[in-house]
Structure 1
Amino acid sequence: MKEFLPDFKEINPIVTSEPKLNLKINVELLNNNNQQMLLEKMGDGTNRRTTLAIFKHKKDKNDLVYVFDEVETHLHIKAQLDVLRLLKDLFKEGKQIIITTHSPFIINQVKLDEIKLISLDADRGSQIFELGSTTQTQITLANLGIMNIDLFFTSKLLIVEGESELKFIPIMYEKLYGYPITQNFLKIVKADGIKDIPNFIRIIKNSFSKTDIFALMDNDADEETKESLNKWIENGMIENSNIFVIGQKEFEDTFPNDVLALALSKYISDECGYEVEIEVKEIQKIRKSKKFSKSLGDIFYNMTYRGFSKPTFAQYLALYAEEEDIDEKFIRLFKLISD
């Protein structure tokens, strides 16, 4: 009981005698303050945890299979994970455990190959779907921040090249549509540079074929990367129309000079603690530089003597850019992932 009711202290049997020596025995649950714990006045979650405590105590060593229906009902997150630990302990004792659940917290705490998705098809009845992934693939997916719940319920997945796009897109999307991008069951993952995008497409598509994959990348891919992408397009792993190449060379140069100047001014002002205004002509001067984002960083450093963070600057761009200021490809991408 202590494992499932943190405030529980002891069980107190109360014996009362009546004529003819009939005994009436009640049982009280006492907390740490020796106050009675009235389970009937507590929530369904507490009662469910108490039931599991009794179950753990009384489990039969001859039992082989246990089936639980939606064990997470009325339980807060920590209680759900406590229950899962109990079930895993039973599994270690040689029991087979079958549970149905809608809890993302439980789904994300088990191995991918232990999950079965049951769906109802009007023509074929109940269908069972499972993910066949190697251990290495599961490690790679975890490193990408893709959890079990994402693989089963994400309808669209967007691979971006860097941290800047990862920061910019959710803010800009919510600014345009009024609700978070995740509401569309969309997951954004960051590749380790443009060369890794084809490899990530392969891993994700092999793990979950039903997910629509999109890719957003700078316009500086080498020939090897382009060939890999073309190969995955030909193999049907990603639609050509789902690949978006932006900028003359990189993400930052897709924005108008006045928006860049405003965002950079706000970024520098916040770093310096006083108002700073970067003139549009300063942005115009560096437009033809070999590495545009580095030149933006040089302006920032000369004003602040601090390191320039491209992801932080991307957040400022999202805050101060309007729909008419962003590349038309962003609008098409947002529309596709919203449908």
Structure 2
Amino acid sequence: MTLQRMKVSNFRCLKNVEINFEPDLTIIVGENDSGKSSLFDILKIIDEKGLPDANDFGFGESEISCELEFPSSKICIKFRKESDGRVISIVTELVCWGELKKYLEEPGSIDEVPVETIKILLMRYGEPTRRRTQEGIRQDFVALLQRNEEKIKRNVTEEIEKGSFDMPVEVIRLDGKKFEDISAFVKDIYLKQDLQGTWNAKVRVGEEQKSLIDIFQENLDCIAKQRQEEVKKEVLPSLREFLPNVEEITINIEYCPRDVVKDVQVSVKFKDSTGTEILFDKKGDGTKRRATLALLRHRMKKESSERFKLLLLDEPDTHLHVKAQYELISTLQQIAQVNQVIVITHSPFILNNVNPSSVRLLYPENGVTNVKQVGDEEDVKNILKSLGIENVSLFFTRKILVVEGESEEIAIPMLFKKYTASTLNNELITLLNAKGVDNVAHLARVITELMSDIPLVVLIDSDFRYRRETKKLLEDLKSHRGIKQFTVGYKEFEDAFEVDVIYESVKNAYGDNIKDDWVRERIEEIRRELEQNPNYKFSDALVKLSGRSKKEIAEAIARYCPVEKIPEDLKRLFDSLK
């Protein structure tokens, strides 16, 4: 039972915010004070049947509303601030009476409907039954159909007020504090359900099975009986001297079981390789979060066949180094296969490794929160920039690939993904455009000085050999640090591809929006010219022949080139990067 949509009005900075959720994994990002945590807070209030504080009412309004849409129901919870300062809640459900039409048209089918289903329908349509017999419950349902016959026939949709609301899905909330408090996490996620049943747990006493509360109460009854005998013999005679009308004194002791979950204290320790026991709470925040992550993954995997869960995770990536953040997103994606997961994050690594359509950006504008649903990878880049995150992956990368121009910058990521079924981001590879072959050696030198521990790979066109100074710089740099250097093409990136690939790719990409000269024979002619003239620029000739830019041609080739037609030079490069 997934949460499909949520609309919040007048809760803190959320004036009229509507957000849709993916059925598996949704990533929420945004600037500080954009309302991210407020979304989770209102869900917490609703799930725990609580009430907002007076300060939670925003924009001078006296009513907060929250609509929750599930596959089979749409609930609206309103919190109203009264004139005396009290806050009350009103729960309504948007129902369509037409959904009951089949029962109205076929009364005999009611006998085949499970009683529990009928009770749910009665509750949903605002007339919960108090009857206990199956016959009585079915009679109440028939009466509901008869009273609302016109609404059912006209498919009327209306709000039905309900006494209370239970989330149709188990909600697990983990914020930063819980992620770092292993003991509290184990207590809430692993032990809570077991602890709640402690008082009713059965134990053998002699030949009988008794619950702990029964045993405890029997002990209290025994104490009361003993004390009552003492009172009868010793206290009552003295009391009658002052109150002669007292005939008897009765002592009753009753115990109302406290919430074991609140009373029980849990601590979690681990033993290291030296045999020393250490409290997890004494470890660093990053270690505690990774341990919490491992426990969460195990718990969700173990309960995958049980009730569906909604996980709300507020910045679980805080204090995690980059490798742990990639482990985090991998774990969340696994959990999201059988549960719904909503994550608030600032991590660019998580953003770079999820489907862009699963990202929601919250941003403030004139004091009001707005929501944008991300559509493509370019949107993700813009989001990172809006969060002040630019080139951050450069400092958390496994390898750096330097290319000499725009064509390679556009085409290499697309071809790499096509060849490896992975992305440069997933492989922790940063791609840098030197913007000219003469700049490659200088950029590579800067990188080696700043980040000497990161492997550097250089891809350049084969025509660099005609540039004496550049060739010498690259050779010096290569011998200095063992840089992996790859060349592509006879002279340029574009001429590495077969004539048919170039022709078909551009034709498929731009159709009639290319010049009439764009034919195979002309491309073959300029390739022959390339082989005869060392100063001939194949890419410039393609631009002139097609009427498209180098950028457009490179993108077309990368998009339409079959995997088996990717040049061997590039395949060797990609194998090295993997």
The answer to whether 1:293 aligns with 2:527 is no
Q: Distance in 2 between matches of 1:179 and 1:189?
A: 18
The answer to whether 1:282 aligns with 2:501 is no
The answer to whether 1:100 aligns with 2:299 is no
Q: Identity, % of aligned pairs?
A: 24
2:523 is paired with a residue whose SS is: helix
Deviations 1:78-115 (A, max 9, x none): xx9xxxxxxxxxxxxxxxxxx9344888688xxxxxxx
Structure 1 residues 4 and 158: CA distance shift in structure 2, 3 A: closer
Q: CA deviation at 1:278?
A: 4.0
The equivalent position to 1:189 in structure 2, one of 415, 432, 440, is 432
Deviations 1:118-173 (A, max 9, x none): xxxxxxxxxxxxxxxxxxxxxxxx9xx9734431x311110001111111111111
Q: Which amino acid aligns with 2:543?
A: G
In structure 1, what is the equivalent of residue 564 of structure 2?
324
In structure 1, what is the equivalent of residue 471 of structure 2?
226
Q: Which amino acid aligns with 1:299?
A: L
Q: Distance in 2 between matches of 1:331 and 1:4?
A: 46
Q: Distance in 2 between matches of 1:5 and 1:297?
A: 46
Deviations 1:37-65 (A, max 9, x none): 99xx99555999xxxxxxxxxxxxxxxxx
Checking the alignment, whether the CA contact within 8 Å between 1:198 and 1:232 is kept in structure 2 is yes
Q: Which amino acid aligns with 1:150?
A: L
In structure 2, what is the equivalent of residue 30 of structure 1?
56
The answer to whether 1:177 aligns with 2:411 is no
Q: Distance in 1 between matches of 2:468 and 2:438?
A: 10
2:458 is paired with a residue whose SS is: strand
Aligned runs of 1:1-339 on 2, under 5 Å?
Answer: 4=33, 28-32=54-58, 33-35=61-63, 44-45=174-175, 69=285, 74-75=313-314, 100-102=319-321, 147-151=391-395, 153-221=396-464, 222-236=467-481, 238-239=482-483, 242-269=484-511, 271=513, 278-287=518-527, 288-289=529-530, 290-301=536-547, 308-338=548-578
Q: Which amino acid aligns with 1:316?
A: A
Checking the alignment, whether the CA contact within 8 Å between 1:165 and 1:311 is kept in structure 2 is no
Q: Which has the higher contact order (CA 8 A, sep 6+)?
A: 2
Q: Which amino acid aligns with 1:253?
A: D
Q: CA deviation at 1:34?
A: 2.7
Q: CA deviation at 1:270?
A: 6.1
Q: Distance in 1 between matches of 2:411 and 2:53?
A: 60
Checking the alignment, whether the CA contact within 8 Å between 1:107 and 1:149 is kept in structure 2 is no
Q: Distance in 1 between matches of 2:313 and 2:524?
A: 59
Q: CA deviation at 1:291?
A: 1.5
Q: Distance in 2 between matches of 1:75 and 1:278?
A: 55
Structure 1 residues 264 and 30: CA distance shift in structure 2, 3 A: closer
Q: Distance in 2 between matches of 1:149 and 1:28?
A: 43
Gaps of 5+ in 2: 1-11, 14-31, 39-51, 64-78, 80-86, 89-170, 179-283, 290-311, 326-344, 349-384, 531-535
Q: CA-atom RMSD, angstroms?
A: 4.0
1:181 is paired with a residue whose SS is: coil
Checking the alignment, whether the CA contact within 8 Å between 2:410 and 2:555 is kept in structure 1 is yes
Deviations 1:154-207 (A, max 9, x none): 111100011111111111111122222221111111002001111111111111
Deviations 1:197-229 (A, max 9, x none): 111111111111221110111112201001111
Q: Distance in 2 between matches of 1:266 and 1:5?
A: 43
Q: CA deviation at 1:74?
A: 3.9
Q: Which amino acid aligns with 2:520?
A: V
2:401 is paired with a residue whose SS is: strand
How many residues are matched?
234
Structure 1 residues 44 and 268: CA distance shift in structure 2, 3 A: closer
Checking the alignment, whether the CA contact within 8 Å between 1:247 and 1:253 is kept in structure 2 is yes
Q: TM-score, normalised by structure 2?
A: 0.35
Q: TM-score, normalised by structure 1?
A: 0.58
1:167 is paired with a residue whose SS is: helix
Checking the alignment, whether the CA contact within 8 Å between 1:219 and 1:250 is kept in structure 2 is yes
Q: Distance in 1 between matches of 2:390 and 2:451?
A: 12
Q: Distance in 1 between matches of 2:411 and 2:425?
A: 14
In structure 1, what is the equivalent of residue 369 of structure 2?
none
1:189 is paired with a residue whose SS is: strand
Gaps of 5+ in 1: 9-25, 49-67, 81-98, 109-141, 302-307
Q: CA deviation at 1:265?
A: 1.7
Q: Which amino acid aligns with 1:223?
A: R
Q: Which amino acid aligns with 2:441?
A: P
Checking the alignment, whether the CA contact within 8 Å between 2:517 and 2:545 is kept in structure 1 is no
2:56 is paired with a residue whose SS is: strand
Q: Which amino acid aligns with 1:263?
A: S
Q: CA deviation at 1:75?
A: 3.6
Q: Distance in 2 between matches of 1:195 and 1:209?
A: 21
Q: Distance in 2 between matches of 1:266 and 1:277?
A: 15
Q: Distance in 2 between matches of 1:325 and 1:298?
A: 24
